Amino acid sequence: MSKNLSELSGRKGVEENLFDKMGKLAVDTGAPSKEQLEELAEEFLIGKSTTYGTTTFYDFLRPENKGKKVYVCNGSACLCAGTQPKVIEQLSAKFDPEEIGHMTCLGRCHENSAFFYKDTNYSGRAIYTLEEIVSQQVSKEDNYHCEAVGAQVLTEEYPGIEQYYAPFKAALTRNPEAILEEIKTSGIRGRGGAGFPMGNKLEFCKNVSNDTKFIICNADEGDPGAYSDRYLLEKRPHSVLFGMMISGFVTGASWGIVYIRAEYPESVATIEAAIQELRDNDLIGQNIQGSGFNFDLKVIKAQGSYICGEETALINSIEGQRPEVRVRPPYPAVQGLFNKPTVVNNVETLAALHYIIREGGTAYANIGTEKSTGTKLICLDSFFNRPGVYEIEMGISLNAVINELGKGFKEPVKALHIGGPLGGIVPEGKFGDLTVDFESFSDNGFLLGHASVVSIPNSFPMIQYLEHLFDFASYESCGKCFPCRLGTKRGQELMTKAISGEHKIDRYLLEDLLHTLEVGSLCAHGGGIPLPIKNTLTYFDEELSNYFAN
């Protein structure tokens, strides 16, 4: 990270954002021109190598993106469902091969066959109405089953702006310390994967003295199988914004930034409309409700990079730098965006604050388990008889989720990949041992993470799934640390050669590679990918034995 570049990028403030301008320059052509990047470099007093190096990193800014008209989802859920070859075949009747690109998970895991055309996502049987879509740009609302089992924290109906923001107005009359104590009492832990206590993160930032602080909503966590963030952004947008506003009040931040995946265009539009509603009702801006609290919100559309789900890479991205992971310390709560104190929380974590502020921290702490309090959204993919988003109380058995909520599988499934690409692969024989909470998954050698569920059917070879994971990790690596940059690629090559039959994998060599990734990587991207690989080696040794030399 460059402190100087951070300062220069922040010189014009949040509203005149370098990365935002890069994205807007790519709208018409698919990528900014060199001349436009030179002008941006001059405007922000940074080097041309910075603007060029940044834009060439992202899927939807790099020069190779020019000419692309339609994008096909290549996420794990669509891969296992086997729907995408048919999608490509159908698209090829309308588009030339060079006009077809890829996106990694469009959040349509409940029905697959997902593709993106003219800033709109499609899935299910939409591919068979391609003629109508191309000629008339007809889109339909995405519908999926949504249900709460037990307490409704995240899925409760929105009653209207006046009633919904009454707890916020009441909070403005209280001491920020008292609000922070409610959050700490609730025991809420980050829902993005790490499970870090939210109250601690807010307190760290609050205790740093600085006139400028930021709250960032990380809506770029694109774990295949997870569409819970999309549900909240599109169906419950005010829950997310409320959480950001409360976080700003607690920490003394004056700006909130919603950083939303490019793969979720509908979410961008919904959040922007909700922000305008807040502005129209004088709930954001200067001296909100006469309280002396100043807070505003801005949406920044990401441009296609999984690593931006890591909070320091996300901060670099907003600054218009390459989204490389930063070395910590300093932590973002002390030195984050534009070198200012910054709190980054994911969508679901922020959305829980409305219940906590309205009902109190103790009420929230009484839901779930002692160490994993509250509720969790869990997403079930198309292999379930009843796919959808479910709000469950922490501690429910995994078998109950599978059989009672999802109504079992449509065809035999041998494993569930839970928690995104870096989450654990849970074999069928372990389903009965797990409850949905941080401790149960950790104690059994897995990771709850985002609680996305990708079903791996009996018919799908595990060696191909491992090759897919290594390929994904290699493609999405920020490249800053060599264990991740090189190790993920070497892993992908090992799997590819084994599949082709030209090479048998040396177990010791693979274990050494996984160890190097775990202990040598700067962040959880390289450090986390060994977990699902190791799970597979442990539980599917017999299936994989022919691919190993020893």
Going by the DSSP 8-state scheme, the letter that residue 327 receives in this structure is P
Pairing state of beta strands 296-301 and 145-149? unpaired
Residue-level pLDDT at 3: 80
Q: Are the beta carbons of 350 and 218 closer than 8 angstroms?
A: no
Mean pLDDT of 255-275: 96
Answer whether residue 4 shows pLDDT above 80. Answer: yes
Distance CA 55, CA 23 (A): 9
Answer whether residue 33 shows pLDDT above 60. Answer: yes
Q: In what helix (H) or strand (E) does residue 218 lie, and over which residues does it extend?
A: strand 214-219
Residue-level pLDDT at 497: 96
What integer best gives the mean pLDDT of the chain?
95
**Band of pLDDT at residue 64, cut at 50, 70 and 90:** confident
Q: In one letter, which amino acid is 452?
A: S
**Band of pLDDT at residue 194, cut at 50, 70 and 90:** confident
Q: In one letter, which amino acid is 11?
A: R
Angle at which helices 482-500 and 507-520 pack, to 10 degrees?
A: 150
- pTM over 0.75, yes/no: yes
Residue-level pLDDT at 201: 96
Query: What are the tens digits of pLDDT across the range 342-377?
Result: 999 999 999 999 999 999 999 999 999 999 999 999
Query: What are the tens digits of pLDDT across the range 84-122?
Result: 999 999 999 999 999 999 988 999 999 999 999 998 999
Distance CA 124, CA 113 (A): 5
The b-or-e profile of 101-123 (16+ CB within 10 A means b, else e) is bbbbbbbbbbbbbbbbbeeebbb
Going by the DSSP 8-state scheme, the letter that residue 331 receives in this structure is P
Q: Which of 386, 358, 303, 363 is nearest to 22 (CA)?
A: 303
Which residue(s) pair with 415 in the sheet? 427, 456
Distance CA 531, CA 540 (A): 14
Q: Are the beta carbons of 7 and 338 closer than 8 angstroms?
A: yes
Answer whether residue 512 shows pLDDT above 90. Answer: yes
Tokens of 81: 């469902």
- How would DSSP label each residue in 135-183? HH--------EEEEES--SSSSPP--HHHHTHHHHHHTTS-HHHHHHHH
**Band of pLDDT at residue 221, cut at 50, 70 and 90:** confident
Residue-level pLDDT at 183: 98
Tokens of 248: 């700003």
Q: Which of 146, 136, 139 is nearest to 124 (CA)?
A: 139
Answer whether residue 1 shows pLDDT above 70. Answer: no
Q: Are the beta carbons of 317 and 259 closer than 8 angstroms?
A: yes
Mean pLDDT of 399-409: 98
399 alpha-carbon distance from chain centroid: 26
For residue 330, cis peptide bond before it (omega within 30 degrees of 0): yes
Residue-level pLDDT at 488: 98
Show the CA angle centred on residue 270, arms to residues 269 and 271, nearest 5°. Answer: 95
Considering the chain, what percentage of its residues have pLDDT values greater than 90?
A: 90
Q: Are the beta carbons of 327 and 153 closer than 8 angstroms?
A: no
Answer whether residue 522 shows pLDDT above 90. Answer: yes
Distance CA 33, CA 44 (A): 17
Residue-level pLDDT at 388: 97
Mean pLDDT of 297-308: 95
Residue-level pLDDT at 195: 83
Residue-level pLDDT at 135: 87
Q: Which of 256, 270, 309 is nearest to 450 (CA)?
A: 309
Distance CA 263, CA 102 (A): 10
Q: What is the set of domains in the chain, with CATH numbers? A: 70-143 (3.40.30.10), 146-365 (3.40.50.11540), 375-457 (3.10.20.600), 462-547 (1.20.1440.230)
Answer whether residue 298 shows pLDDT above 70. Answer: yes
Answer whether residue 187 shows pLDDT above 70. Answer: yes
Answer whether residue 521 shows pLDDT above 80. Answer: yes
Which alpha helices (H) appear in 444-523, and where do they start and end? 462-476, 482-500, 507-520
Between residues 550 and 244, the one the model is more confident about: 244
Query: What are the tens digits of pLDDT across the range 444-479?
Result: 999 999 899 999 999 999 999 999 999 999 999 999
Distance CA 423, CA 445 (A): 10
Answer whether residue 532 shows pLDDT above 90. Answer: yes
Backbone angles phi, psi at 104, to 5 degrees: -100, 100
Say which residue the tokens 């519908």 belong to: 143
Q: Are the beta carbons of 306 and 222 closer than 8 angstroms?
A: yes
Q: Which of 194, 195, 227 is nearest to 75 (CA)?
A: 227
For residue 329, cis peptide bond before it (omega within 30 degrees of 0): yes
Distance CA 112, CA 87 (A): 10
**Band of pLDDT at residue 548, cut at 50, 70 and 90:** very high
Residue-level pLDDT at 286: 97
Considering the chain, what percentage of its residues have pLDDT values greater than 70?
A: 99
- Judged by DSSP in three states, 425 sits in strand
Answer whether residue 138 shows pLDDT above 90. Answer: no
Answer whether residue 29 shows pLDDT above 70. Answer: yes
